[in-house]
Structure 1
Amino acid sequence: MEEEFEFGFTEDPKFSVERYEEMIRNHDQYFFDAQAFENIIDYYIEKNDPARALQVAEYAISQHPFAAVFLIKRAQLLVVANKIDEAFAALEKAAMLEASDADIYLIRGNIYEGMERFTEALENYEKALELAEETDEILLHIAYVYQNMGDYETAIKYLKLCLKQNMENQDALYELAFCYDVLDNQEESVQFYQQYIDNEPYSYAAWYNLGNAFTKLSLFEKAIDAYDYAILIKDNFASAYFNKGNALVNLEKYAEAIEVYRHTFEYEQPNADTYCAIGECYEKLEQMDEARVFYKKSVKMDPKLADAWFGIGVTLDFEERYFEALHFYKKALDLDIANADYWFAIADAEYKLGHLAEAESAYEKVVELNPIDVDAWLDYSSILYEQTRLDGAIEVMAEAIKNNPDAAELHYRMVAYMFAKGDYNEALNYLEQALTTDPEKHYILFDYLPQLQQNKVILDIINRYTR
């Protein structure tokens, strides 16, 4: 007959685990009290060994058939194993033994949430809310459900309740920022985080989210101050350094931004995005060799980062190495085919190489993807004009004006084309429209057709608007 040993909760959890493993090795049967079993299950969960934890839960149920806690643990572990029906059954049994245990409804809510059965998820979370002593995590789950339902206003209400229960709940702080972001309500976000910081001045997450909200409002100086506080409180906060770098870039303080980006390397492994951001700063400073070094580091780390391939192209383009630049622009385009900026750069490089047909079709793509890019329309029509395809240039300009009726540059260009065609009445109509839109830009006309500076009719009309 097998000998039974009893192990109680007084001993060290590690001792319970050792005894359990010894029992399994010896094919023996020891008795453990409930607390010892809980310790053993938790040990395996922490070790990320859910299969072993489930095995212990089954064994615990056989020794303590009326302890709901093990049925609840079993249900939790069955969810991990994706055995949903068995998990529901275990929770059903647990509810018969201890209907007032909040975890039963919390786990059931989790399962329904995963199945996108949101009404049932909310019913269970609400029930858990009534029974639990600490409710911040349940409130957070309710907020997640409302987010999944697309009801961000209600999600915000529950996230605020969660933070009222537990000011330290970092997940709730970040989720709140996300909800405000989706609703594009940065002003309220700023207001909330400022109030929060009044009560909790040492919350680095709140300062960080405040910085992000200021960034989205283009208040970059204020954003930098907020990131500085976050860094002061948590000096290894790599994300705060990175976002501070981005804010400095927006203020065109590229040299400072490089220093701040480099700080992130002290606290986390260098990554492709940061290398790319540093490359961009050197590019803006026209230090193209340095820029290229960092762009290359970036693509070496992440060959799918289109912006870094594009950056290499920009540095070569700057050095008038258009043929090489084109190669890298096309690599970027392969990764992001609908990027109008990439098409624009390709169009420009093809033009500089004298490949007019290729440039033309690339410009066509730019204006299709981004019809409000005024420069692209101007360049596109120029190519046609240079090839003495005047009707084509006029057609492109008409389409451009239709998409950008307030862009004076387009109207002035159309005046030049109409004069070139000899259609003086139309030219004067467009000139009136151009001068009405922006009289200061009339010099554009003379840049394109200098001979018009001798035209008395045109000068009289311009003087009427610029006097």
Structure 2
Amino acid sequence: MKSDVTFADITSLSIKTYRMEEEFEFGFTEDPKFSVERYEEMIRNQDQYFFDAQAFENIIDYYIEKNDPAKALQVVEYARNQHPFAAIFLIKQAQLLVVTNRMSEAFSALDKAEMLEASEADIYIIRGNLYENMERFSEALENYEKALDMAEEKDDILLHIAYVYQNMGDYGSAITYLKRCLQHNMENQDALYELAFCYDVMDNQQESVQFYMQYIDNEPYSYAAWYNLGNAYTKLSLFEKAIDAYDYAILIKDSFASAYFNKGNALVNLEKFAEAIEVYRQTFEYEQPNGDTYCAIGECYEKLEQMDEARSFYKKSVRLDPKLADAWFGIGVTLDFEERYFEALHFYKKALDIDALNPDYWFAIADAEYKLGHMDKAEEAYEKVVEMNPLDVDAWLDYSSILYEQERLVDAIEVMSQAIKNNPEAAELYYRMVAYLFAKGEYNEALAQLEIALTSDPEKHYILFDYLPQLQKNKIIVDIIARYMK
């Protein structure tokens, strides 16, 4: 079988012609399958038939749909030989060369196509895609802008320009082009979601809400707009409004599983755990159960202190997604609640194996080790927590507490000093420091720290007495506190 046939070869042969007009003359149909069958017959017979440009396009598209780029490229070669001045086949060739990762050849094909038909928008779209993938963003933008001037359908090009600006970190420009995209096509769902993403990155939820409300005024039945509005309200902690927006999205598209899921999350934030469970369950009517939803249901049962149910759903979650760390952690939490600390520790560590940089997992491990009496391991775990999250005041307090219980007052005071450096506004740290300093006998420094604590938040002075009740009988301390409380 000949693999490469030149245009000269074809002209020197006795050629069977299968032009579309001749097909009509002989009673043939315009069905693209007919062209494919004739082309494959030609290959089998090692013959040369003539096809018009449209027939070749049909054959190429057939192999593209069959996900066979090699055969599609072979057809392109035949087409280019028979129609050397048709830019469309160079454009098709470039698309296929991109798919087969032959980038330099794709650029070459596009250059040739541009020489034949410089006003063809697809040339610049494909070239823009190539430059975008190579992170040569200015060249990508230049080509997309050229395509924009030539194309009748502009929304997808505007969307691509927005993607480039996103990749450049210029989210303001991306928003401008996404809005232009929606002006051309109000139903472009990708643009709606990307716009929400850009507002999220810029932490500009107020403007996001304003945009989607204006959009909904023109397109009240856009479920995607209502959904994104709900997400914006959620990020603003306006959960009641978020639920209303999700309800409208569901009313328009009752199979919108993501809207049910996010509505469930909003209900969780309102601590309406039983309602959230019912909403999460509704997602199962429209999509297969997944680990995230089972985990969310498990967390609701955990908050309701129905630990058997919670553990059941967490286990379903890890069966579907063994890499879901939060579900393994949730199993540990349910066991910890039942004072099964050794078992809880096993599941906390499984979560940690998946996400070793999660300070919440380390905190839980530290607490479990402490409850099991493993002070050295608890101390190591607390060190990890405050290293990863030095703003966790509770972790600093618990860490210092286990040192205090072991009568390591110097170490406890040093930990409190580090805690205060990282959280200078946290009054509870100063009150704890006062307790440790009194316990060590450093009264003057203790009173100085007490003044700082009372200046910061006098209402929290009870923390000092909770930790060292005997100080309630100390007249100096009581008098100082009374002065600040007035």
Identify the TM-score tier after normalising by the shorter chain. Answer: over 0.9
- Residue 328 of structure 1: how far off its partner (Å): 0.8
1:127 maps to 2:146: yes
Residue 4 of structure 1 is matched in structure 2 by 16
Residue 247 of structure 1 is matched in structure 2 by 266
Residue 41 of structure 1 is matched in structure 2 by 60
Q: Deviations over 1:334-393 (max 9, x none)?
A: 211111111110110011001111111111111111111111111111111111111111
Match of 2:302, SS?
Answer: helix
1:355 maps to 2:367: no
**Which residue of the other structure, out of 339, 347, 356, is the alignment partner of 1:320?**
339
| Whole-angstrom CA distance in 2 between matches of 1:245 and 1:18 | 54
Residue 14 of structure 1 is matched in structure 2 by 33
Q: What is the identity, as a one-letter code, of the residue corresponding to 1:324?
A: E
- Residue 7 of structure 1: how far off its partner (Å): 4.2
| Whole-angstrom CA distance in 1 between matches of 2:392 and 2:17 | 80
| Whole-angstrom CA distance in 1 between matches of 2:474 and 2:271 | 42
**Which residue of the other structure, out of 85, 101, 109, is the alignment partner of 2:104?**
85
1:185 maps to 2:204: yes
Q: Percent identity?
A: 83
Structure 2 unaligned residues grouped into runs of 5+: 1-12, 22-28
Greater shift, 120-129 or 40-49, is seen at: 40-49
| Whole-angstrom CA distance in 2 between matches of 1:15 and 1:6 | 10
Residue 423 of structure 1 is matched in structure 2 by 442
| Whole-angstrom CA distance in 2 between matches of 1:221 and 1:16 | 59
Is this contact kept in 2: 1:7–1:30, CA < 8 A? no
Residue 113 of structure 1 is matched in structure 2 by 132
- Residue 198 of structure 1: how far off its partner (Å): 1.0
Greater shift, 18-27 or 293-302, is seen at: 18-27
Match of 1:31, SS?
Answer: strand
Q: Deviations over 1:149-204 (max 9, x none)?
A: 11111111111111111111111111111111111111111111111111111111
1:287 maps to 2:299: no
Residue 71 of structure 2 is matched in structure 1 by 52
Match of 2:339, SS?
Answer: coil
1:332 maps to 2:354: no
**Which residue of the other structure, out of 394, 398, 405, is the alignment partner of 2:424?**
405
Residue 462 of structure 1 is matched in structure 2 by 481
| Whole-angstrom CA distance in 1 between matches of 2:312 and 2:372 | 25
| Whole-angstrom CA distance in 1 between matches of 2:43 and 2:14 | 13
| Whole-angstrom CA distance in 2 between matches of 1:277 and 1:26 | 62
| Whole-angstrom CA distance in 1 between matches of 2:189 and 2:67 | 23
1:231 maps to 2:250: yes
Name segments (4+ residues, structure 1) moved above 4 Å: none
Q: Deviations over 1:254-281 (max 9, x none)?
A: 1111111112222122111111111111
Q: Deviations over 1:78-103 (max 9, x none)?
A: 11111112212221222222111111
| Whole-angstrom CA distance in 2 between matches of 1:118 and 1:439 | 56
Is this contact kept in 2: 1:5–1:30, CA < 8 A? yes
Is this contact kept in 1: 2:291–2:320, CA < 8 A? yes
Residue 265 of structure 1 is matched in structure 2 by 284
TM-score (norm 1): 0.96
| Whole-angstrom CA distance in 2 between matches of 1:232 and 1:40 | 44
Match of 1:133, SS?
Answer: coil
**Which residue of the other structure, out of 145, 149, 161, is the alignment partner of 2:180?**
161
| Whole-angstrom CA distance in 2 between matches of 1:126 and 1:147 | 16
| Whole-angstrom CA distance in 1 between matches of 2:46 and 2:301 | 67
**Which residue of the other structure, out of 380, 385, 389, is the alignment partner of 2:408?**
389
Q: What is the identity, as a one-letter code, of the residue corresponding to 1:4?
A: K
Greater shift, 46-55 or 281-290, is seen at: 46-55
Q: What is the identity, as a one-letter code, of the residue corresponding to 2:62?
A: Y
| Whole-angstrom CA distance in 2 between matches of 1:409 and 1:251 | 27
Residue 32 of structure 1 is matched in structure 2 by 51
Is this contact kept in 2: 1:416–1:445, CA < 8 A? yes
Match of 1:168, SS?
Answer: coil
| Whole-angstrom CA distance in 1 between matches of 2:299 and 2:47 | 66
**Which residue of the other structure, out of 121, 125, 136, is the alignment partner of 1:102?**
121
Is this contact kept in 2: 1:2–1:28, CA < 8 A? no
- Residue 3 of structure 1: how far off its partner (Å): 6.2
Evaluate the alpha carbon distance shift between residue 175 and residue 374 of structure 1 in structure 2; reply closer, same or farther with a 3 A threshold.
same
- Residue 107 of structure 1: how far off its partner (Å): 1.1
Is this contact kept in 1: 2:53–2:83, CA < 8 A? yes
Structure 1 unaligned residues grouped into runs of 5+: none
**Which residue of the other structure, out of 431, 448, 451, is the alignment partner of 1:432?**
451
| Whole-angstrom CA distance in 2 between matches of 1:73 and 1:433 | 74
| Whole-angstrom CA distance in 1 between matches of 2:377 and 2:108 | 66
TM-score (norm 2): 0.92
Match of 2:16, SS?
Answer: coil
- Residue 14 of structure 1: how far off its partner (Å): 3.0
Residue 93 of structure 2 is matched in structure 1 by 74
**Which residue of the other structure, out of 170, 181, 189, is the alignment partner of 1:170?**
189
1:61 maps to 2:61: no
Is this contact kept in 1: 2:15–2:50, CA < 8 A? no
Evaluate the alpha carbon distance shift between residue 232 and residue 19 of structure 1 in structure 2; reply closer, same or farther with a 3 A threshold.
farther
| Whole-angstrom CA distance in 1 between matches of 2:186 and 2:145 | 21
| Whole-angstrom CA distance in 2 between matches of 1:26 and 1:295 | 63
Alignment of 1:198-217 (within 5 A): 198-217=217-236
| Whole-angstrom CA distance in 1 between matches of 2:215 and 2:64 | 35
| Whole-angstrom CA distance in 2 between matches of 1:347 and 1:89 | 62
Residue 9 of structure 2 is matched in structure 1 by none
Greater shift, 235-244 or 24-33, is seen at: 24-33
Is this contact kept in 2: 1:7–1:16, CA < 8 A? no
| Whole-angstrom CA distance in 2 between matches of 1:22 and 1:286 | 71
RMSD of aligned residue pairs (Cα, Å): 1.6
Is this contact kept in 2: 1:242–1:260, CA < 8 A? yes
Is this contact kept in 2: 1:208–1:226, CA < 8 A? yes
- Residue 23 of structure 1: how far off its partner (Å): 3.3
**Which residue of the other structure, out of 362, 366, 370, is the alignment partner of 1:343?**
362
Residue 6 of structure 2 is matched in structure 1 by none
